[in-house]
């Protein structure tokens, strides 16, 4: 019995040794395969590519800055509610926790990026990076710090211009974003999560992206170059080392990079910036029409074969389009020699046309093509209430007239009258009841046809009066009542 067991043990040892031999032999051949020499051609190609990318990154990184903003935020309620109102906790934490409902203010900081576009200190960034900022700190590539001042901004395109008092700054070279093609290699440079001058590489995934809902004028470059929080306002750079876009937003379900980022084309960003620097505001072209996209059903009804274009639904009397002879029902298929794909494309074309310029507009009218000459006008500025200063429940509500572009962008019916809510201060009794992009149609059953009506009605509301509003929100009409909060001024 012992002899048999010994033979079995010897056999087991033999099998284990044999298996180890084959494993060792296999690893040897794998190691030999891994150690295969890389071809000189591959080394040369990869080496050149690496050198090119390093050269582009080195030349453009100094033009990108870190932007740090400080804003005062008001918290209306204590996050722990009445928890600290207990006398036992007050003994340890003090009376500051006694009234959790009293608004408390604290400083909030945020990080973003910017791009130096002139040697004398003009910096391009996103509007949402500097929005409501009380202090702007700009940190350069060489670690120098400056206090920045907002020269002007344009929420419609999410562009802002910041100025620092400095000279001989490393301004980036402006590229031609119109020449970008899908598949072009690009670099994204910025400060994601505060990590200064991070560079990521990708390609142009698409151009001309619109109807995303980020801004009123959309013509985005889509890229898979990694863009994360903090990259906003940074540079999208071409393989030639030129600025082709301002990184603006990402598509994400997690808040982080998911392979889809958007940049504002440099042509649009530069046009907005130059207008702000020169005039202190953005000057846009204007036609004076309301338009909508052409659907297959509409095309059939109007007897047109084109599947593209912008259908005119209304023409403003005495506006540029009215003077040129455009009519309701015309399908605009070409503007200034460029084909019109849809309403977004036409709006961008018109906005980027200098007021006073005469252009050719090709339309389809009753099945026949006609060419009209239009002298583009200047987009009429509408007065905006910076803040309602009256001592009542609508204080802190900022509104403006409903412009044709806003009406089209927000799908507000053509016959709907009122004023558009721009922002609502967190300190306002209306906060949480009235929201951005609401249309105030009535106040206390009184119709609001425009800004003048709004100001007249609001000025007569008392400090303790409850107010009834009729709002248009998300395609429907709702009533809300607003009353003074306890302790309100």
The alpha carbon of 266 is separated from its chain's Cα centroid by a whole number of angstroms, namely 14
Structure tokens at 283: 């000057």
Mode of pairing for the β-strands spanning 173-174 and 242-250 = parallel
- What is the Cα–Cα distance from 315 to 325, expressed in whole angstroms? 9
Catalytic hit among 232, 248, 275, 430: 232
CB 420 within 8 A of CB 399: yes
* Residue 24 annotated to the active site: no
- What is the Cα–Cα distance from 348 to 346, expressed in whole angstroms? 5
- What is the Cα–Cα distance from 330 to 338, expressed in whole angstroms? 17
- Dihedral sign from CA coordinates of 190, 193, 199, 202: negative
Tokens 């412009």 -> residue: 403
Q: How many CA atoms lie within 13 A of 68 on its CB side?
A: 14
Taken as a whole, the chain contains a residue count of 489
CB 234 within 8 A of CB 130: no
> DSSP secondary structure string, 335-399?
ETTEE--SHHHHHHHHHTSPTT-EEEEEEEETTEEEEEEEE-EEPPP--B-S---SSSTTTTEEE
* Residue 158 annotated to the active site: yes
- What is the Cα–Cα distance from 242 to 236, expressed in whole angstroms? 8
Instruction: Single out the residue of 138, 126, 7 nearest to residue 63, CA to CA.
Output: 138
* Residue 128 annotated to the active site: yes
The alpha carbon of 409 is separated from its chain's Cα centroid by a whole number of angstroms, namely 15
The alpha carbon of 405 is separated from its chain's Cα centroid by a whole number of angstroms, namely 17
Q: What are the start-end ranges of the H helices in 35-145?
A: 40-60, 87-93, 127-130
Instruction: Single out the residue of 144, 102, 101 nearest to residue 121, CA to CA.
Output: 144
CB 275 within 8 A of CB 283: yes
Torsion of CA 212, 401, 292, 153, to 10 degrees: -40
Structure tokens at 16: 């284990």
Instruction: Single out the residue of 182, 172, 75 nearest to residue 124, CA to CA.
Output: 172
The alpha carbon of 159 is separated from its chain's Cα centroid by a whole number of angstroms, namely 9
Structure tokens at 469: 């509003």
Catalytic hit among 68, 128, 205, 430: 128
Catalytic hit among 154, 158, 224, 438: 158
- What is the Cα–Cα distance from 259 to 266, expressed in whole angstroms? 21
Structure tokens at 51: 């050198």
The alpha carbon of 328 is separated from its chain's Cα centroid by a whole number of angstroms, namely 33
27 burial type by CB count under 10 A (0-12 exposed, 13-18 middle, 19+ buried): exposed
Q: Among all residues, which ones are annotated catalytic?
A: 128, 158, 232
């Amino acid at each position: 019995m012992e002899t048999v067991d010994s033979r079995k043990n010897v056999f087991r040892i033999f099998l284990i040794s044999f298996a180890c031999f084959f494993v060792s032999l296999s690893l040897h051949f794998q190691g030999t395969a891994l150690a295969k020499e890389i071809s000189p051609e591959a080394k040369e190609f990869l080496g050149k590519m690496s050198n090119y990318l390093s050269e582009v990154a080195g030349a453009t990184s100094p033009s990108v800055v870190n932007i740090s903003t400080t804003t005062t935020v008001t918290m209306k309620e204590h996050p722990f509610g009445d928890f600290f109102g207990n006398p036992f906790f007050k003994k340890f934490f003090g009376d500051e926790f006694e009234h959790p409902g009293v608004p408390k203010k604290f400083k909030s900081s945020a990080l973003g990026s910017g791009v130096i576009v002139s040697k004398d200190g003009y910096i391009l960034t996103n509007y949402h990076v500097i929005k409501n900022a009380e202090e702007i700190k700009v940190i350069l590539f060489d670690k120098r710090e400056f206090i920045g001042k907002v020269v002007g901004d344009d929420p419609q395109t999410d562009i802002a211009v910041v100025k620092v008092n400095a000279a001989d700054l490393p301004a980036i070279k402006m590229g031609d974003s119109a020449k970008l093609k899908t598949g072009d290699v690009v670099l994204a440079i910025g400060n994601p999560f505060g990590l200064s001058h991070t560079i990521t590489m990708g390609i142009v995934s698409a151009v001309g992206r619109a109807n995303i809902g980020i801004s009123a004028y959309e013509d985005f470059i889509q890229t898979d170059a990694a863009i994360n929080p903090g990259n906003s306002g940074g540079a999208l750079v071409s393989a030639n080392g030129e600025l082709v876009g301002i990184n603006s937003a990402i598509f994400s379900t997690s808040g982080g990079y998911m392979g889809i980022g958007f940049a504002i084309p440099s042509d649009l960003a530069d046009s907005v910036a130059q207008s702000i620097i020169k005039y202190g505001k953005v000057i846009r072209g204007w036609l004076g029409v309301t338009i909508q996209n052409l659907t297959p059903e509409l095309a059939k009804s109007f007897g047109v074969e084109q599947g593209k274009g912008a259908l005119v639904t209304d023409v403003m009397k005495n506006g540029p389009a009215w003077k040129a002879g455009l009519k309701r029902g015309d399908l605009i298929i070409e503007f200034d020699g460029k084909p019109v794909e849809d309403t977004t494309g036409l709006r961008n074309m018109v906005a980027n046309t200098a007021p006073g310029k005469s252009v050719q507009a090709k339309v389809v009218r009753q099945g026949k093509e006609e060419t009209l000459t239009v002298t583009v006008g200047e987009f009429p500025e509408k007065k905006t209430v910076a803040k309602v200063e009256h001592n009542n429940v609508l204080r802190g509500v900022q509104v403006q007239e409903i412009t044709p572009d806003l009406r089209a962008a927000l799908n507000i019916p053509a016959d709907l009258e009122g004023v558009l809510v721009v922002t609502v201060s967190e300190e306002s009794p209306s906060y949480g009841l009235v929201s951005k992009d609401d249309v105030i149609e009535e106040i206390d059953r009184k119709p609001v046809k425009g800004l003048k009506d709004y100001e007249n009605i609001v000025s007569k509301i008392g400090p303790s009066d409850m107010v009834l509003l009729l709002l248009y929100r998300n395609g429907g009409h709702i009533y809300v009542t607003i009353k003074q909060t306890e302790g309100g001024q």
